[in-house]
């Protein structure tokens, strides 16, 4: 191999320059000669062939990486294009239901069924849980399909009214907060919540579920006040049936402490160790119907069915098959035959609900 100045070959000189020492270093016999030190001495170092081999290996590694870049870019591009693809279109049935909801329902009703698979006279699955709120004197949670309602009863002592000195009070209140459905807004009670509260108050008064005389402790002096707060947690129609059911179950769960009036001091004395259940005289159960096209009746309507119906009617009956209340807020009129059909179905529904409540209460009673 041809040697340059200082005995280094051109290849060794080029490698030494590539390593960054320029002309100050030269490879001689496998050693690196340094001229930067005040004295000349030979330092051990790699040979030019070894340096060149290492450089070539690194170069090959970089080339291989560059060759793999197109494949990586292709994979990223395919993923990006896949993410840009629009979602598949919804089924035609969903589009038809959105554009023409009433006609969509009519096609199902002609076949005597509903979009959720129920028959026209079939109720949604009903569950009840008693004693859900430990801080209340009585409570119950009722789930009717997707409609979920909880009722809590709080008992307080107060003086009876002058015109009814031997009676206590029952104060119902139905709340439809914004969390239960987008159709409701926060703030003061809306029209639907006020109508539901008045309906519950009418059911209590007409059915005589509790005799207010049973709430009186001392005539003209002391009586119980039962605050019945009914709150909807999830709204999917038929709020009146669920609220009535929750109220009845919660009242059957109430345990009131024994209260006496000290004749010497005239003050009330409460014994929390001795508690007594309320005397439930009647068991009212509400059954709601939606009217389609002025003639067709379906039971237990959902929120969508209530919006599409031409009218609704709610029938309340008790265990004696007595009609306690009929609530019909306008809409399509009902013939006598249709109303009698509603009452017959309500009586059958009452037996199912009463059986469910008795079963739940029996299961939680201490043995």
Is residue 269 within 8 Å of residue 157, measured between CB atoms? Answer: no
Work out the average pLDDT over 73-84.
64
pLDDT at 15 over 70: no
The two tokens of residue 29 are: 């016999």
CATH value at residue 236: 3.30.230.70
Angle between helices 92-99 and 101-109 (to 10 degrees): 110
Same domain, 65 and 90: no
Note whether 149 and 185 are same-domain residues: yes
Q: What is the pLDDT of residues 180-189, one digit of tens each?
A: 999 999 989 9
Do 174 and 250 contact (CB within 8 A), yes or no? no
Q: How far apart are CA 267 and CA 251, in angstroms?
A: 27
Pick from 175, 171, 200: which is nearest to 188 by CA? 175
**What range does the domain containing 246 cover?**
116-364
Question: Torsions phi, psi of 79, nearest 5?
Answer: -65, -40
Report strand pairing: 222-234 vs 268-277: unpaired
pLDDT grade for 8, boundaries at 50, 70 and 90: low
- Domain co-membership, 336 together with 280: yes
Q: Are residues 227 and 102 in the same domain?
A: no
Q: 255: which strand partners?
A: 277
Among 98, 115, 132, which residue terminates a domain?
Answer: 115
Q: pTM of the prediction?
A: 0.74
Higher pLDDT, 162 or 7: 162
In this structure, the answer to whether residues 224 and 359 fall within a common structural domain is yes
Residues 360 and 265 placed together within one structural domain of the fold: yes
User: Shortest CA distance to 244 belongs to which of 278, 277, 288?
Assistant: 288
CA neighbor of 308 nearest in space, from 90, 115, 92, 93: 115
Model confidence pLDDT, tens digit, residues 252-297:
999 999 888 887 777 888 888 888 999 999 999 999 999 998 888 9
Question: Which has the higher per-residue pLDDT, 113 or 67?
Answer: 113
Q: How far is CA 330 from CA 290, 314, 334, in A?
A: 12, 12, 10
Asked if residue 179 and residue 109 are part of one domain, the reply reads no
How far from chain centre, in Å, is Cα 199?
26
Q: Where are the alpha helices (DSSP H) in 219-327?
A: 239-252, 303-308
Check whether residue 287 and residue 335 sit in a common domain: yes
| 222-234 and 169-175 beta bridge pairing | parallel
Which residues, 6+ apart, have CB-to-CB distance to 269 below 8 Å?
259, 260, 261, 262
Number of domains in the chain: 3
Same domain, 49 and 152: no
Q: Where are the alpha helices (DSSP H) in 189-331?
A: 191-207, 239-252, 303-308
Same domain, 151 and 274: yes
**What's the pLDDT at 68?**
62
d(CA 106, CA 320): 37
Residue whose entry in the numeric block shows the structure tokens 């008795």: 358
My answer on whether 43 and 99 are in the same domain is no
Q: What pLDDT was estimated at residue 72? A: 64
pLDDT at 214 over 60: yes
Residue 319 above 80 pLDDT?
Answer: yes
Lowest mean pLDDT among 74-88, 137-151, 159-173: 74-88
Is residue 66 domain-shared with residue 169, that is, in the same domain? no
């Amino acid at each position: 191999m041809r040697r340059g100045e200082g005995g280094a070959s051109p290849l060794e000189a080029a490698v030494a320059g590539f390593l960054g020492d320029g002309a100050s270093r030269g490879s001689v016999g496998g050693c690196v000669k340094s001229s930067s030190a005040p004295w000349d001495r030979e330092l051990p170092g790699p040979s030019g062939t070894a340096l060149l081999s290492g450089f070539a290996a690194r170069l090959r590694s970089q080339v291989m990486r560059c060759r793999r870049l197109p494949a990586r870019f292709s994979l990223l591009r395919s993923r990006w294009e896949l993410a840009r693809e629009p979602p598949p279109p919804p089924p035609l049935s969903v589009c038809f239901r959105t554009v023409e909801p009433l006609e969509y329902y009519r096609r199902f009703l002609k076949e005597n069924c509903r979009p959720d698979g129920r028959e026209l006279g079939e109720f949604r699955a009903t569950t009840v849980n008693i004693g859900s709120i430990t801080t209340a004197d009585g409570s119950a949670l009722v789930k009717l399909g997707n409609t979920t309602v909880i009722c809590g009863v709080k008992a307080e002592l107060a003086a009876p009214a002058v015109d009814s000195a031997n009676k206590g009070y029952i104060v119902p209140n139905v709340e439809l907060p914004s969390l239960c459905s987008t159709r409701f807004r926060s703030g003061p009670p809306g029209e639907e919540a006020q109508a539901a509260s008045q309906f519950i108050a009418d059911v209590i008064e007409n059915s005589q579920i509790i005799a207010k005389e049973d709430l009186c402790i001392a005539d003209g002096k002391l009586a119980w006040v039962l605050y019945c707060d009914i709150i909807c947690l999830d709204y999917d129609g038929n709020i009146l049936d669920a609220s009535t059911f929750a109220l009845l179950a919660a009242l059957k769960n109430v345990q009131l402490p024994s209260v006496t009036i000290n004749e010497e001091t005239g003050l009330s004395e409460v014994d929390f160790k001795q508690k007594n259940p309320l005397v439930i005289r009647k068991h009212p159960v509400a059954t709601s119907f939606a009217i389609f096209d002025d003639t067709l009746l379906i039971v237990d309507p959902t929120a969508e069915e209530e919006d599409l119906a031409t009218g609704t009617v709610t029938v309340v009956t008790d265990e004696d098959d007595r009609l306690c209340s009929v609530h019909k807020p306008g809409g399509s009129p009902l013939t006598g035959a249709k109303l009698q059909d509603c009452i017959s179905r309500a009586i059958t529904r009452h037996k199912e609900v009463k059986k469910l409540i008795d079963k739940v209460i029996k299961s939680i009673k201490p043995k």
